[in-house]
Amino acid sequence: MSAGPGAGVDLGGPGPEGVDPASRPPGAIRDRRLSPTLLVGAVLVGLVVVGAAVSYVWTPYDPVRVDATARLLPFSAEHWFGTDRFGRDVFSRVLVGARTTLLVGVVSVGLAAAVGVPLGILAGMTRGILPTLIMRACDLLLAFPALLLAIMFGAVFGGSTLTAMVAIGIATIPSFVRVVRAGTLQVMSTEYVLAARAAGRMRPAIAWRHVLPNVSGVVIVQASVSFAIAVLAEAALSFLGFGTPPPTPSWGRMLQEAQPLLFLAPRIAVVPGVAVALAVLGFNLLGDGLRDVLDPRTREIR
Amino acid sequence: MSPAVRTVPGRDDRDRDDLVLDVAGLSVHAGDLPLVQDVALSVRRGERVGLIGESGSGKSLTALSVLGLLPTGLRASGRVRVATAQGPHDVVGSSERAMSAVRGRDVAMVFQEPMTALNPTMRVGRQVAEAMRLHGVDARAAGARAVELLADVRLPDPAAAARAYPHQLSGGQRQRVVLAMALANDPGLLVADEPTTALDVTVQAGVLDLIVAGVAARDAGLLFISHDLAVVATVCDRVAVMTDGRIVETGDVAQVLTAPDHPYTRRLVAAADLSVVDDRGRLTGGAGTRRPSAPPARASSGGSAAAPPEHDRPGDGSADWLGAPIIEVSGLSRTYAGRRTSWRARPEPVHALRDVSFTVARGERLGIVGESGCGKSTLLRLLAGLDTPTSGTVRIEGAQVSGRSERELVPLVRRRLQLVFQDPMGSLDPRMRVADIVAEPLVAQGLPGGRERVRELLTAVGLDPDAARRYSHQFSGGQRQRISIARALAPSPSILVADEAVSALDVSVRAQVLDLLADLVDDLGLTLVFVSHDLAVVRHLCERVLVMEAGRIVEEGPTAALFEAPDHPYTRRLVGSIPTIAGALRGDRPADLAAGAGSDADSDVTTDPSPARP
Amino acid sequence: MLARLATLLGSLAVSSVVVFAFMQVLPGDPARVALGLNASEEAVAAMRSHFGLDRPLLVRYLDWVGGLVSGNPGESYISRAQIGPQLADRFAVTAWLVLAGMVIALLIALPLGVLMAVRHRDAVGLVTSAVSQIGVAIPSFLAGILLIAVFAVGLRWLPAGGWTPPAVDPAAFLARLALPALSLGLVQGAVLARYVRTAILDVMSEDYVRTARSKGLTPLRALWRHGLRNAAIPVVTVLALQLATLLIGAVVVERVFVVPGLGSFLLDAVAQRDLVVVADIVMVLVVCVLVVNTLADLAYGLLDPRTRGVR
């Protein structure tokens, strides 16, 4: 506030009404700093990441070792989450399964962002036939949801972690293109882009210096939400047998193996089920929380 | 504490029952943060009271408190009493149900933004009728009365307008619909919050006239909130001045504006009057200048606008000192493909600019005025090489600019011509530090200077050089506009183009930025092209002016002469519809402005030729 | 309107090319794949000519599309059974499932979403919002497994799976429809409820709702009279996407409940590498999604007068 002579009458700044009480009541300002949504989301996601990391150095038992003497054991001190019908330790398998979940999520979301963000910026910054083509292609791709695409891939190439990742990634591209294009159009209509052009900036520089930093918020939020969807899709694919092949543990496959045993030991379905739900919940909450921080314009989408 | 509310002479004899609004000790808090403090206000039947304040003064919250419509999270305390048929009703602490019965019947409101104030999915007539149906009028009568009300606010073909959806009406028309809605139940008090701020000046004149006439016809009270002193002076009898959540002065309009009591009011009134300048033509007596050493003197404005400053301009009074034109525009047209309104019909092309020609002399200050949609923004973009004309040419310092590639434009235009924009929020990238913002033209054009140059520029626009490390959202509107100016000056351009550069600023800040611009133009020998809808600002700053309407230049000439004796009918309407403090003190009322605006209040009908008939 | 239909036809054409191209990617000759490695050259050649595999690609594509359009997609390479009647039967099963799921989802989402928005500042809003977040996080097949565990295994109220057509035994039909439809509807309901909540919260902060209140409407009536139709505009778009999600969700849920719908048909065909059947089923699903999206676009125009006549 030191700058500007006569600052005493300079009321153009964010005065009491500058915070716009209509859209953001002052109580919410504190909420933003330590939003419970963000906190819970971060903790849950952290749990999954730590679980996967720990599984590389330590698991209570070998997650794939079959032990006919220890089949369908209940929860106990030796086997925290019991054992499955082959006598494998469920806790160890859940830990290792987190790796599969994260791998599929990171690769598919990474693929979608790597393709979707540049296409979105391109569609937002150019005119004529190109943006129309890109958006039409996206509309079309939306008619092939991740699961359908993965099943098609599975039918032709055989189901594997790779086909699942690629299918989920491709199916996620349109959502990135859409949010990035919307963000780009918004940035391109601002006066600071006009100022940058008047300053002599070329298009690539505008894309890099102005558009990308200003859409990065929505990209991060979209990545988090897409991650949750990818976790769901991977679980469903493994459940159907199109994802990670045995014996590598994955939560979806554990659920598939548990289903025939529902009459005998329903608890076996509970553990991987809770794992999937918590992971999805974590990424969804993280996305919502980040949206409040990074993109105050749109409070919440889901 | 605010000074005691002065009673207006001649009104003492009025009965207390005449009070339609009685506010005392009103405070609004957000948590523990006070936003409005100890406000006292009263409005009587037939009285028009203005509430003046700059952004953040708490005037809008005061208005919303009167209707009990504060946003969630804000809490009002004190006394807000409005008159109803059943006697005075206390708004603070009233139940939602009881308040709903009062709203729209005894007290109604007109909001600032006509574009969003109406439900986009409901026909206009139904929205007006709803206001009556809620208070006991049956459907048939309400529907018929709605059409009458729309006729009262002079909508062309009111029956068709009633069947239209809001998006089929222009901004001015929508504001009339909101007004019709507010007046539907003949309320005793009308609250209008910046009702014409979003409208063009000729449209404003009509809407102001309708508000005053509508209130007068019902012998209702009016609480009129505005930042614009001239508008308040024209509309109101009595005025309250608000700053920092408090009312600092209340009194008769003439008295407050001619002999303000409170220091804040004095500053505000001084800043609003652009005709009072010191011997250097400055408004703030050096407060807004960037350094103590006085820049070369400039003849004060007035009749002799052509008198040049000493430096950079050879010769004397005659026209040839202007030398070769620095900007030459000839036969410039720009046509956009229109929006498709039907699947089969070919879209109508939009002629944003039609055959525009003019020149700007080196060192000249040229104003371009016109209302929204007149093509001034298009013209500015073409000048700056940000858009390509459909036909015609732009020459800058002799070099043909139109149709060049971005790369060719850098030495031809970008180095020579820089822009200052309207929106102090939107013209600075929120993700960049001030240093990078100001240095952007240097980096983009490969010019030397770097950090030192940025510090120099920030000092030149009156900012602390340490501002370079911060982000733009940490600055006030006026400061952000200074940053914007510093960026424009970075490549040492010879031409500065300002697009409504002070329109978004509060009055007091506006004066400082105007002085800064004038200083810089003088000191650096810049040529200034100043685009604005605000004739007073242009008159203050510019020597020559172009008036634009519907993509054409309809009149041009020396500023003072043109505004004293406008020749073209459009210019006459434009000049005639502008509210001024001086005019208001002479007794000008909104009806006079509406008459000045020419074809009475229907002048904004032209902006949307096809209302109704969905 | 016409433009929208043209877009739909274009999308259908392009997606059919994509699906057809996909079938051709498989290495090797479909006839040899179908008959096995031990088949004689003559048998393979006979099969190739029987199915027209020796004809040019374009002819085969047109033949395939023509078959689908005329409702007679020919016979399977593997089982040699006519695909058409089976496709129709299976489609009916999946349609029941999806429609019931959608109805359940709407029944949950509309009241819950409005409640969450209106009470978004107090405990009721917080708790419902948390519940819906958890609902969003549960995959539909997991919901199915849990429902089986509770209602079929634990309480023994409903069968754990299988299918009875409504014409055969309406009571058994409903009993067997209940759990799969619920597992689809519960999860989609939670997702949809969050969209409804957002849409209503957005509308509640609109200027025109404030205008409505200044006329004398209470907050709830202002929301009812002015908010709902405007809030419906974004929700309708989401609804279309949700229907696509339900359709795909049905594929998995059918597997959980052993329901003979399109999903099980698809998975069986994939398992047998019966590519013609796979392509046919995928095409049917894609057509459904595209048609629903088009209908949503048209509904959008009806709800929002601003878009009328522009498209």
Last residue of a domain, one of C83, C104, C126: C83
Q: Is the pLDDT of residue A6 over 60?
A: no
The per-residue DSSP string of B542-577 comes to: -SEEEEEETTEEEEEEEHHHHHHS--SHHHHHHHHT
**Interface membership of B113 toward C (CB under 8 Å):** yes
Contact call for C214 and B97, based on CB within 8 A: no
Contact call for A262 and C153, based on CB within 8 A: yes
C99 in the same domain as C11: no
Domain of residue C58 covers: 2-83
- A167-171, A202-206, B247-251, C259-263: range with lowest mean pLDDT: C259-263
- With beta carbons under 8 A apart, name residues in chain A contacting C245: 145
Residue A203: C-alpha distances to residues A178, B7, B387 (Å): 20, 63, 14
Contact call for C136 and A281, based on CB within 8 A: yes
**Helix segments in B346-396, DSSP class H:** 376-383
Distance between CA C48 and CA C51 in Å, rounded?
5
Last residue of a domain, one of C50, C83, C116: C83
Q: Is the pLDDT of residue A12 over 80?
A: no
Domains: count for chain C: 2
Question: Quick one: CA dihedral B269, B272, B275, B281, positive or negative?
Answer: positive
- With beta carbons under 8 A apart, name residues in chain C contacting A291: none
Residue B577: C-alpha distances to residues B200, B204, B233, B588, C310 (Å): 10, 8, 14, 11, 36
Residues 6+ apart with CB under 8 A from B565: none
Give pLDDT tens digits for A152-180.
888 888 778 888 899 999 999 999 999 99
C21 in the same domain as C71: yes
- B28-37, B334-343, C1-10, C165-174: range with lowest mean pLDDT: B334-343
What pLDDT was estimated at residue C136? 86
**Helix segments in B401-506, DSSP class H:** 406-409, 434-445, 450-460, 477-489
Structure tokens that stand for A161 in this block:
């972690």
CB A200 within 8 A of CB B417: no
Q: Is the pLDDT of residue C158 over 50?
A: yes
Mean pLDDT value of segment C178-190: 90
In this structure, are strands B527-532 and B495-499 parallel, antiparallel, or unpaired?
parallel
- Strands of the sheet with B33-44, listed across from one edge: B33-44, B19-30, B74-84, B87-90
Q: Tokens 């070769």 identify what position?
A: B324
CB A167 within 8 A of CB A150: yes
Distance between CA A197 and CA B608 in Å, rounded?
33
Instruction: Compute how many other C-beta atoms are within 10 angstroms of the C-beta atom of residue B531.
Output: 25
Contact call for C211 and B342, based on CB within 8 A: no
Q: A194 pLDDT band (50/70/90 cuts)? A: very high
Distance between CA B157 and CA B588 in Å, rounded?
30
Residue of B nearest to C302 (CA): B121
**Interface membership of A22 toward C (CB under 8 Å):** yes
C135 in the same domain as C8: no
Architecture per CATH, domain A48-64+75-298, reads as Orthogonal Bundle (1.10)
Task: Kindly give the interhelix angle for C140-147 and A212-240, rounded to the nearest 10 degrees.
Answer: 40
3-state SS assignment for residue B306: coil
Mean pLDDT value of segment C37-49: 73
- A54-63, A116-125, A244-253, C32-41: range with lowest mean pLDDT: C32-41
Instruction: Compute how many other C-beta atoms are within 10 angstroms of the C-beta atom of residue B289.
Output: 22
Write the residue in C1, C216, C311 that is nearest to B101 by C-beta.
C216
Amino acid at B535: L
Distance between CA C11 and CA C6 in Å, rounded?
9
Architecture per CATH, domain B19-119+187-272, reads as 3-Layer(aba) Sandwich (3.40)
Residues 6+ apart with CB under 8 A from A57: none
* Residue C241 vs residue B50, higher pLDDT: B50
- With beta carbons under 8 A apart, name residues in chain C contacting B339: 310
Q: Choose, out of C270, C281, C293, the residue to mutate when testing the contact with A (most A CBs < 10 Å).
A: C270
C96 in the same domain as C79: no
C95 in the same domain as C56: no
* Residue B251 vs residue C58, higher pLDDT: B251
Distance between CA C159 and CA B335 in Å, rounded?
69
Give pLDDT tens digits for C211-237.
999 998 988 889 888 988 889 888 888
- With beta carbons under 8 A apart, name residues in chain C contacting B118: 208, 211
All structural domains of chain B with their residue ranges = 19-119+187-272, 425-492
**Interface membership of B137 toward C (CB under 8 Å):** no
Q: Burial, C98: exposed, middle or buried (Cβ in 10 Å; 0-12, 13-18, 19+)?
A: buried
**Interface membership of A261 toward C (CB under 8 Å):** no
Write phi, then psi, for B595 (nearest 5 degrees): -65, -40
Amino acid at B433: R
Contact call for C215 and B343, based on CB within 8 A: no
Structure tokens that stand for B309 in this block:
């400053």
Q: Is the pLDDT of residue A193 over 80?
A: yes
Write the residue in A4, A198, A202 that is nearest to B462 by C-beta.
A4
Give pLDDT tens digits for C107-140.
999 999 988 888 888 888 888 888 888 888 888 8
Last residue of a domain, one of C83, C115, C131: C83
Structure tokens that stand for C264 in this block:
């099980």
**A-B interface: how many C-beta pairs under 8 angstroms?**
175
Q: Is the pLDDT of residue A23 over 60?
A: no
Please, what are the averages of pLDDT over each run of 10 residues along chain B (614 residues)?
43 62 93 91 93 89 92 90 90 90 93 89 93 91 93 90 90 92 94 90 90 93 93 93 92 90 89 76 58 33 36 40 78 82 66 92 92 88 91 91 86 91 87 92 88 92 91 88 94 93 85 90 92 88 92 92 90 88 85 71 40 32
The closest alpha carbon to B515, from B476, B322, B427, B523, belongs to B523
What pLDDT was estimated at residue B323? 62
- Strands of the sheet with B325-336, listed across from one edge: B350-361, B325-336, B391-396, B399-400
The closest alpha carbon to B490, from B445, B430, B525, B522, belongs to B445
C11 in the same domain as C114: no
What pLDDT was estimated at residue C31? 67
All structural domains of chain A with their residue ranges = 48-64+75-298
Write down the ipTM of this complex: 0.83
- With beta carbons under 8 A apart, name residues in chain A contacting C17: none
Contact call for A139 and C153, based on CB within 8 A: no
Q: How far is CA B304 from the centre of its chain?
A: 28
What HEC string does chain C produce?
Answer: CHHHHHHHHHHHHHHHHHHHHHHHHCCCCHHHHHHCCCCCHHHHHHHHHHCCCCCCHHHHHHHHHHHHHCCCCCECCCCCCEHHHHHHHHHHHHHHHHHHHHHHHHHHHHHHHHHHHHCCCCHHHHHHHHHHHHHHHCCHHHHHHHHHHHHHHHCCCCCCCCCCCCCCCHHHHHHHHHHHHHHHHHHHHHHHHHHHHHHHHHHHCCHHHHHHHHHCCCHHHHHHHHHHHHHHHHHHHHHHHHHHHHHHHHHHHHHHHCCCCHHHHHHHHHHCCCHHHHHHHHHHHHHHHHHHHHHHHHHHHHHCHHHCCCC
Please, what is the average pLDDT of chain A?
A: 79
